[in-house]
Amino acid sequence: MTQLSFNSRSENLSPEEGMRVHCQISHPAPECIGPRNLLAIRRWKRVCCGTSMKRLVWAALILAALRGQAEIQGIQTNTFVFLNTGVSPKDKGISNEEVGKMQTQHVGNFGAQFSQGKLMAAGPLGGGGKTRGIVVLAVQAPEQIAECFKPDPYVQSGILEVETHPWLVDVMKFSTPKVPFQMGQHTLCIAKKGANWKSWGTELRADSMMGLFPSLKKEVKTGELLISGPFTDGGDQLGVMLFYSTNKAEIQARLDMEASVARGEVQVALVSQYLGKGTFPDPHEDISVPKPGKRRRLFDGKSFAGWEGDTNQMWRVENGALVGGGLKETVAHNDFLCASGEFKNFDLRLKVKLEGTGFVNGGIQLRSQRAKEPAFEMVGYQADMGEGYWGSLYDESRRRKTLAFTHAAILKRIVKTNDWNDYVIRCEGPRVRLWLNGILTVDYTEDEKDIPMSGLIGIQIHGGGKSEASYKDITIEEL
């Protein structure tokens, strides 16, 4: 355990193995099936129940897809932070009005740190105890942690004290927060050394908590145990587990039956944990890419038929793809190629690739319109592409801001630089969802009434770099 007082300036897949998913990076961890793979596993079982060659081919294809998922490795050491009660505002002579302002800045800092890719999760705890909330950071060095809390007036004034622990977890267990923000309730379990504690027995791994609570392996597979991991600092607190359920009595009864608890080796404490919905996958909601329906091609792979834009200079058809920009000269300004007709509710799928130097960026416009001034611009939603923008939803030339995005730690593991990436874009009513290489990166619901729910589909090459944006295998299903 590390106490920081900032005021005082201190500081893998095969059928015979049951289709388990390899989830290690540098430590040989046991394999497990995560909730994201359950739907594919059910499909695999249905496919393999017959003996025809067609079924066997489909089985091979599905297993190959699962192997692709299994290559996503997410084991890393994050920082788990307990925000503990410090000096009361009253004792410091801080007025209620000022406390209100501090609360706004406190919560705002969480958003800012998430935007910078430093924060994975944050939320208050129930029960009114010493610990008021938790934060999960994707940084580890003391100075990096301290920097995250510098804009937080609660911490800087001593109203909240920061207690940090290095936390070994699989960051691919995290998911994309829903936008607009919705609060969800779960149960946090804090495991501590009991009077008869001996040792971990083996080198710490992301799944080490299952060594203490082996009966919970079923909950890992179903997704009811959202995430778990040990603290690696050797202190009295061993680690934490987060359950989807809010039934603390049921969880406590289950944990009391574990041998490690019965022998007094481990003590557990349960508390209500509040987090934004989508921070972790809901085990009762399928967040995998939807099964494709009846689709048609928007691009024939050889011509501009069905597309309009600057097809003389900016855009070309090359190797079965629509390519914008070039690698020899700087792209002077944003430019868009648009598909014919307007679309409202749809499932759009395509492969995209970015290459170049300087500012390398592109995107797919949704429910958009051509701008009048400048005429080369478009206005509307964009599924963004580029370093720091991959997998995000941007509002092009309208609100001019990123509306929703996912964790930088996840994008780091799924983006294929200078290679083809799979984008799935699904618009249904006010809801827009994006999947990048099979991972949900945006779940956004529009809450502004005057935002158009239909429009053009376009592809972009962004100005400012010697760059190319390529798009191919473009198909659509109208919903």
Q: Give the per-residue pLDDT at 55.
A: 53
Show the tokens assigned to 296.
């048609």
Residues 246, 234 share a domain? yes
Residue 465 backbone dihedrals phi, psi, to 5 degrees: -140, 160
Q: Is residue 48 part of a domain?
A: yes
Tell me the percentage of the chain whose pLDDT exceeds 70. 85
Domain harbouring 443, CATH code: 2.60.120.560
pLDDT value, residue 86: 96
Predicted TM-score (pTM) of the model is 0.85
Q: How many domains does the chain have?
A: 3
List Cβ neighbours of 377 (8 Å cut-off, separation of 6 or more). 334, 336, 370, 371, 396, 397
Residues 23-53 as b or e (16 or more Cβ within 10 Å = b): bbeeeebebbbbbbbbebbebbeebeeeeee
Per the model's pLDDT, the better-predicted residue between 60 and 217 turns out to be 217
Mean per-residue pLDDT over the chain, rounded: 88
242-288 per-position pLDDT tens digit: 999 999 999 999 999 999 999 999 999 999 999 999 999 999 999 99
Same domain assignment for residues 65 and 81? no
**pLDDT at position 411:** 97
CB-based contacts of 67, cutoff 8 Å, min separation 6: 13
Indicate whether 263 and 177 sit together in one domain.
Answer: yes
For residue range 313-339, what is the model confidence (pLDDT) as tens digits? 999 999 999 999 999 999 999 999 999
Same domain, 241 and 309: no
Print the domain residue range for 300: 296-478
Q: What is the pLDDT of residue 422?
A: 98
- Asked whether the CA dihedral 428, 433, 438, 440 is positive or negative, the reply is negative
Strand-pairing partners, residue 386, are 361
Are 307 and 337 in contact by the 8 Å Cβ rule? The answer is: yes
Asked if residue 5 is part of any domain, the answer here is no
Cα separation of 7 and 16, whole Å? Answer: 57
Report how far apart the first and last C-alpha atoms of the chain are (Å, whole number).
Answer: 52
Q: Which of 222, 241, 276 is the last residue of a domain?
A: 276
Tell me, what's the pLDDT at 383?
98
Instruction: Report d(CA 29, CA 292) in Å as an integer.
Output: 34
Amino acid, single-letter form, for residue 409: A
Query: Are residues 313 and 403 located together in one domain of the fold?
Result: yes
Query: Quick one: what percent of the chain has pLDDT higher than 90?
Result: 84
What pLDDT, in 10s, does the model give residues 29-81? 333 344 444 444 444 444 444 445 445 444 444 444 444 444 476 999 999 99
Q: Is residue 281 part of a domain?
A: no
**pLDDT of 128:** 82
Residue-wise pLDDT tens digits, 285-294: 999 999 999 9
What is the rounded distance in angstroms from the CA atom of residue 400 to the CA atom of residue 79?
33
110 shares its domain with 53: no
Q: Residue 73: what pLDDT? A: 65
For the segment 430-460, what is each residue's pLDDT rounded down to a tens digit?
Answer: 999 999 999 999 999 999 999 999 999 999 9
Is there a domain that residue 164 lies in?
yes
Shared domain check, 231 and 94: yes
What average pLDDT does the segment 143-155 reach?
A: 97
The CA distance from 108 to 134, in Å, is 15
Take residue 167 and report the two structure tokens written for it: 């936390």
Q: How far apart are CA 202 and CA 191, in angstroms?
A: 17
Is 8 within the bounds of a domain? Answer: no
pLDDT 10s digits, 190-212: 999 999 999 999 999 999 999 99
Instruction: Answer yes or no: is pLDDT of 375 > 60.
Output: yes
According to DSSP, the β-strands at 439-445 and 178-179 are parallel
| 355 and 464 fall within a common domain | yes
